[in-house]
Structure 1
Amino acid sequence: MEKYLEILKNSYHGYFNYLWTEITHFHWENYFYGLILVSLIVWALEVIFPWRKDQKIFRKDFWLDTFYMFFNFFLLNLIVLIFLSNATAEVFNDILGLIGLKLLDFQLLNLDALPFGFGLLIFFLVTDFVQWNTHRLLHYSPFLWNFHKLHHSVKEMGYAAHLRYHWMEPVVYKSLLYIPLAIIGGFNVEAVAIVHFTALAIGHLNHANLGWDYGILKYIFNNPKMHIWHHAKVLPNHAHYGVNFGISLSLWDYVFKTNHIPHDGRDIELGFDGDEQFPSGFLSQELYPIKTKRTNNS
């Protein structure tokens, strides 16, 4: 227990210092100003090339989604995620130690030993594929779907909707990514930053008010015209749990036949069945899964 209390203390102290440094010092891997820069660029594209021309620049829930961006990107890490990540890693290492193994025993590939571009590509593909499967799980599991509903409560799409999600989601994503990333260890801060900002930009564009599909590249990269159907309120009969689960890449949806773009989805209704009962405020949205579980159990 003493070890985990030390992890808790170091996690909060370390991340607070990191966040303060990010805010007060600019560098090329700076997540704080990187988020702001990417958001401003994609927002400008929305204003200049709007797909839904009658949608306001400050669309429905614009400020709520903006708050979610900074809360989920930074404050959430400070409050809980960094400690959970560090504690999970320590628990996993302790379990391996009980059976005489170490995390390095699982490492099949060292990305640092590969040419930088090739290693970066492997890191990106593995990360995106695991996240694609995790995203599907959020839809297929009734328990996890209750948390994921928050992201699907968006009624007017815009770039900031990308980071409207419940705090439980990154816990699930990071937990399921832990072992695959351990298997391909050796990635450095520069590689992580490149993949992170690439995924951030693609995710922002996917949710933006833009009518782009990138031509032939639509079969590789997720895009606004494809992702709008992921948020459709009415799902096709053959895909009750959802379609178009791609995070950065659409490739997996085409390979595993979860793609669905029946026609131009510019004006389709967004949401999910029963979303009119979904709360509109931040705190009530965060508490929704807990309250819903209590209601179902009562």
Structure 2
Amino acid sequence: MEKYIDIIKNSYSGYWNYLKHELISINHWDNYFYGLIIISILVWLLEIAFPWRKNQSIFRKDFWLDTFYMFFNFFLLNLIILIALSNTAAEFFNDILSIAGLNISNLQLFDVDNMPKALGLFIFFIISDFVQWNTHRLLHRVPWLWNFHKVHHSVKEMGFAAHLRYHWMEPIVYKSLLYIPIAIIGGFDAQDVAIVYFFAIIVGHLNHANLGWDYGFLKYVFNNPKMHIWHHAKELPKHVRYGVNYGLTLSLWDYIFKTNHIPHDGRDIELGFKGDEQFPKDFIEQELYPIKLKNEV
């Protein structure tokens, strides 16, 4: 137990020092803090220059709430819980393996260090995106997970920052299910991860932006605003129970597994979910919603 307490303490102090370094250091390209700001401003400028829904305000409904979510979820959330939890869970998993006389290196299928950099990054990206696509499906199919995911689907007007409106429980689920597949690959350094991270942020911001793009033939590979708007549609098609267009960065999985749905131009469809009129409108109440709901049952 003392080992896990030390891991938690070291995780907090280590991440706090990292965050301070990110804030004061602007001389490295993989700075997550300023990278997020630059990407957000650029996509917002695209929204302003090429708005799909022309009657939607530049400062759309919940613009500032989503902006707060964006910084809270990617920086403060990590400081408060996620880094410590991830490190503790990883150590616990390694301890379980050690009981069976194994360690994570025994499970590695291959090491990307032994591959060309581009191929290793491609494999890392494909595997992580596929795992996250399946995790996203679980968030819609499992009722107690859906209650957390409702925070993201409570968006009523789409804009770039809606990308990062989600409950703190979601990254815990994503990271937990992603840990083993990524550990089996092995061999990534921080800059490798940064490349994939920034690409995913760019595509995710564009998917939620007020833009009417589908990228032509590339729509069958990459998720896009015209496809993702239907994922947020309040009215699901009659033949669908849980949702459509689960892709995060890639649309490929939806076309392969027949979860794609773009019946027509979805520019003006109503967004949300059934019963969202009663869903909380402020940050604190949205974060507490799944807990209160459980207590009421």
TM-score normalised to structure 2 length: 0.99
Separation in 1 of the partners of 2:264 and 2:189?
42
1:3 counterpart residue number: 3
1:251 counterpart residue number: 252
Separation in 1 of the partners of 2:146 and 2:238?
19
1:39 counterpart residue number: 40
- Are 2:129 and 1:128 aligned? yes
| Residue pairs, 1:138-157, within 5 angstroms | 138-157=139-158
Separation in 1 of the partners of 2:295 and 2:152?
21
Q: Deviations over 1:158-204 (max 9, x none)?
A: 00000000000000000000000011100121210000000000000
C-alpha displacement of 1:8? 1.2
Separation in 2 of the partners of 1:242 and 1:38?
28
Which AA in structure 1 matches 2:6? E
- Are 2:184 and 1:183 aligned? yes
2:16 counterpart residue number: 16
Q: Deviations over 1:71-122 (max 9, x none)?
A: 0000000000000000000110111111111111100011111111111110
- Are 2:296 and 1:295 aligned? yes
Which AA in structure 2 matches 1:21? H
C-alpha displacement of 1:5? 1.0
SS in 1 for 2:260: coil
Task: List structure 1 runs of 4+ shifted beyond 4 angstroms.
Answer: none
Separation in 2 of the partners of 1:67 and 1:275?
21
| Residue pairs, 1:45-194, within 5 angstroms | 45-194=46-195
C-alpha displacement of 1:213? 0.1
Q: Which runs of 5+ in 1 are unaligned?
A: none
- Are 2:25 and 1:25 aligned? yes
SS in 1 for 2:258: coil
C-alpha displacement of 1:240? 1.1
SS in 2 for 1:151: helix
SS in 1 for 2:272: coil
SS in 2 for 1:29: coil
Separation in 2 of the partners of 1:239 and 1:131?
21
Q: More deviation in 287-296 or 263-272?
A: 287-296
C-alpha displacement of 1:294? 1.1
Which AA in structure 2 matches 1:277? Q
Q: How many residues align?
A: 296
Separation in 1 of the partners of 2:75 and 2:102?
34
Separation in 2 of the partners of 1:276 and 1:182?
42
- Are 2:203 and 1:199 aligned? no
Q: CA RMSD in A?
A: 0.5
Separation in 2 of the partners of 1:5 and 1:129?
33
SS in 2 for 1:97: helix
C-alpha displacement of 1:211? 0.1
Q: Which runs of 5+ in 2 are unaligned?
A: none
TM-score normalised to structure 1 length: 0.99
